[in-house]
Structure 1
């Protein structure tokens, strides 16, 4: 069976942008994120040596989640303009590197990636989800693990592998309870309000005792601390809606996507056009023999 790397494209693009200095082409076009992106993809290939690697991008909001909660992700700031300019080129570079670039209008990339991970795992493949997004912890099982990038505040920690035991250590609940856990405590990054005052420790304690979100709702009259009893009863339906928002899809809406092949000439042309000289030199060495260099 094969080893697959599934990359959360926008998560990695933002990290490439903020992790690099403000580099520009001679005409002022920003290129910092482009340098960071290509080097990150190469590092992942060299470090993990996957049999196949795919990148997933967003191409519009989640229509299903917005129908349930119109304020879903409404608080997020606009993408910085220099990064916005680089996103189309990042996608071009991704495809030229043979990493495909999967996207579908109206469906979040998280759902596309999660569904693909589960299909591959069910077929017996090993999957690494490359992302810092905590939502993916719900996908972890014997075949699926998360590869988290170094924290921007402490890059020396390096890339970290998260298996089921690491999920429990970090969140206090196993992967199967992550979506319910997030529904209960809320997720500020997605603008999903949980029960005010219920933090990770209280949530983990309740799940240990009552097992599921419905179990917690059913036991609302006996919850401790007592101040949450009426609140949970009152907000039971909102918690159920939250769970629909925090649960990633397990139903593929695309056929299985296969690994692409590097388009070396196209990649080198892009790197030259972006005036990425050192990256171009490295690409010429890395892909030598795979295509004519101009």
Structure 2
């Protein structure tokens, strides 16, 4: 069956950046101290930073070689001032996030332009986030004639998992081995055809991990909130949220 691979470009590029930084920056305690060592970051002769791009492209080549998808799309975050802030007035949304480091911010632009130049489908805008585009692509294209995969580290994507869509979540080696043991994949050759350090989530595994099925994740997050995005939850009910949502089959 043909495969559509949707790649969370923002997540992959950020991971690539922090995974290929000099120790002098990784262990620096202040932003000012980090900036003093920016010249140690991999860069071109004319000063363009390339450490994240280099690592991401190497990762992509490995994925293409192993997965051989017929279709590929990249989704990126362009700004934090999306419609959630401008139209819904949620000023608190992601307000707890630090400013993106200058060397990474520059590489976002360079990577997006590079992917477009070589003919890749790249989705991003001032109004929507990467996961908005990913969910839209899943809804538009998933079906019995096309297997869809979403590659990301972000747990928010649990909600797009379905009969026809799998989430390939990037995890560390120890976490991957534990998940494979928990769900009976230890020693199996199933994961030989998947990208490195990736665990495949089905609707059943999402339920086992979260206590609700994928379509119920938005309701669950509405109750529990999402500290990573600065979204508060309902006080005193977070631990009971999943059983409640599951018991009352919300949504029905």
Q: TM-score range by the shorter chain?
A: 0.7 to 0.9
Secondary structure of 1:85's partner? Answer: helix
Deviation at 1:64, TM superposition (A): 4.3
Q: For 1:74 and 1:153, locate their aligned partners in 2 and report how far apart those are by CA, in whole Å.
A: 31
Matches within 5 A, 1:119-198: 119-122=140-143, 124-151=145-172, 158-198=197-237
Q: Corresponding residue for 2:96?
A: 75
Deviation at 1:28, TM superposition (A): 4.2
- Counting matched residue pairs gives 213
Per-residue Cα deviation, 1:197-246 (whole angstroms, up to 9, x for no partner): 433x4222212322227x9xxxxxxxxxxxxxxxxxxxxxxxxxxxxxxx
Secondary structure of 1:192's partner? Answer: coil
Structure 1 residues 78, 18: CA separation in 2 closer, same or farther (over 3 Å shift)?
same
Q: For 1:152 and 1:190, locate their aligned partners in 2 and report how far apart those are by CA, in whole Å.
A: 26
So what's the TM-score if we normalise by structure 2?
Answer: 0.76
Per-residue Cα deviation, 1:36-91 (whole angstroms, up to 9, x for no partner): 11012112212211001110122333214543322211221111111012111111
Checking the alignment, whether the CA contact within 8 Å between 1:181 and 1:203 is kept in structure 2 is yes
Q: For 1:71 and 1:45, locate their aligned partners in 2 and report how far apart those are by CA, in whole Å.
A: 38
Deviation at 1:155, TM superposition (A): 8.0
Q: Which runs of 5+ in 1 are unaligned?
A: 216-294
Checking the alignment, whether the CA contact within 8 Å between 2:144 and 2:164 is kept in structure 1 is no
Q: For 1:127 and 1:36, locate their aligned partners in 2 and report how far apart those are by CA, in whole Å.
A: 24
Query: Computing the radius of gyration over CA atoms, which structure comes out larger, 1 or 2?
Result: 1
Per-residue Cα deviation, 1:150-178 (whole angstroms, up to 9, x for no partner): 33886888111111111112111110110
Checking the alignment, whether the CA contact within 8 Å between 1:120 and 1:126 is kept in structure 2 is no
Checking the alignment, whether the CA contact within 8 Å between 2:13 and 2:56 is kept in structure 1 is yes
Q: Corresponding residue for 1:46?
A: 65
Q: Corresponding residue for 2:12?
A: 12
Q: Which runs of 5+ in 2 are unaligned?
A: 22-40, 179-196
Q: Corresponding residue for 2:25?
A: none
Q: For 1:51 and 1:204, locate their aligned partners in 2 and report how far apart those are by CA, in whole Å.
A: 37
Q: Corresponding residue for 2:187?
A: none
